[in-house]
Structure 1
Amino acid sequence: MTLEHIRLTQTARDQLITLKRRTGLTQWNVLCRWAFCRSLAEPAVPPAVKLVFDSNVEMTWRVFAGDHGDELWALLRYRCDRDGLALDDETLAQQFRLHLHRGVGYLVGDPRVANVAGLASLALADSAAG
């Protein structure tokens, strides 16, 4: 794995600030993990958009993933394989960034995420449906 530093766009930063305010979760990495997993749960491949990393929010993979680095990386590899994408480091890093940013947008745009209970209800609803 060569993804060591994760930067966010200004838009994602602003959306995360909104999510922090709504949920009371203060750690960027926790919200980013939720966002990443939310995007992975979406069946469609994230659109290949050009991301401009113009914010001051940056974290290492270790900070992002915490103790779940191997599992999150394996989920990304599985998803890329399922989507018929290459499993080289560049493709995986690009898909990670696309999933992360799409997930942040999904969370901030979801009216159920008005507080931390609403955020948790997303996972509970998905597990009950699946």
Structure 2
Amino acid sequence: MSLDSVRLSQPAKDRLSRLKRTTGITQWNVLCRWALALSLKDPSTPLVKDIVTDSNVEMSWKTFAGQYQDIYLALLKQRCVADGEEPTDENVAKVLTVHLHRGIGYLGGQRELATVEGMVAAVTA
């Protein structure tokens, strides 16, 4: 597992597809960034540890993180340390996957997060 590419599970892809329609945000990476921010804001450890990334949605780390690659990487490493994990490449990639999927679950599971305004309010509150 590495940060070279970011893949989604089929259920995550399905949720994001619905969110693309309701929010008008058409880019996978933008929705994924919101999902990651939302999950990292939650101090609890995600319950799901093993995620099957079986969908056809895959993007490079550069596409996912864009011009803020260093910031996202620092946030992921900090989360590893906060959770008592060594910030190795493998652990950072695992943290990305579980937090990304938990955040997608949050976005798809709460009606108020189905709008851009709701997403902004959730990550800034």
Same fold (TM over 0.5): yes
Q: Percent identity?
A: 48
- The residue type equivalent to 1:66 in the other structure is G
The verdict on how the C-alpha distance between 1:111 and 1:67 changes in structure 2, with shifts beyond 3 A counting, is: same
TM superposition score normalised by structure 2: 0.93
* Backbone CA RMSD of aligned residues: 1.2
Q: How much has 1:123 moved relative to structure 2?
A: 2.8
- The residue type equivalent to 2:64 in the other structure is F
Q: After TM superposition, which residue ranges in structure 1, 4 or more long, deviate above 3 angstroms?
A: none
Query: In the alignment, which residue of structure 2 is the partner of 1:90?
Result: 90
Q: Please give the per-residue CA displacement for 1:74-118, whole angstroms capped at 9, x wherever unaligned.
A: 011111101111211111111110000000001111121232222
- Structure 2 CA distance for aligned equivalents of residues 16 and 65 of structure 1: 17
Tell me the secondary structure at the aligned position of residue 104 of structure 2: helix
Query: In the alignment, which residue of structure 2 is the partner of 1:40?
Result: 40
Q: How much has 1:48 moved relative to structure 2?
A: 4.1
Q: How much has 1:60 moved relative to structure 2?
A: 0.2
Query: In the alignment, which residue of structure 2 is the partner of 1:22?
Result: 22
Query: In the alignment, which residue of structure 2 is the partner of 1:61?
Result: 61
Counterpart contact for 1:15–1:108, Cα < 8 Å: yes
- The residue type equivalent to 1:59 in the other structure is M
Q: How much has 1:63 moved relative to structure 2?
A: 0.2
- Structure 2 CA distance for aligned equivalents of residues 115 and 83 of structure 1: 31
Counterpart contact for 2:32–2:64, Cα < 8 Å: yes
- The residue type equivalent to 2:56 in the other structure is N
Count of aligned pairs: 124
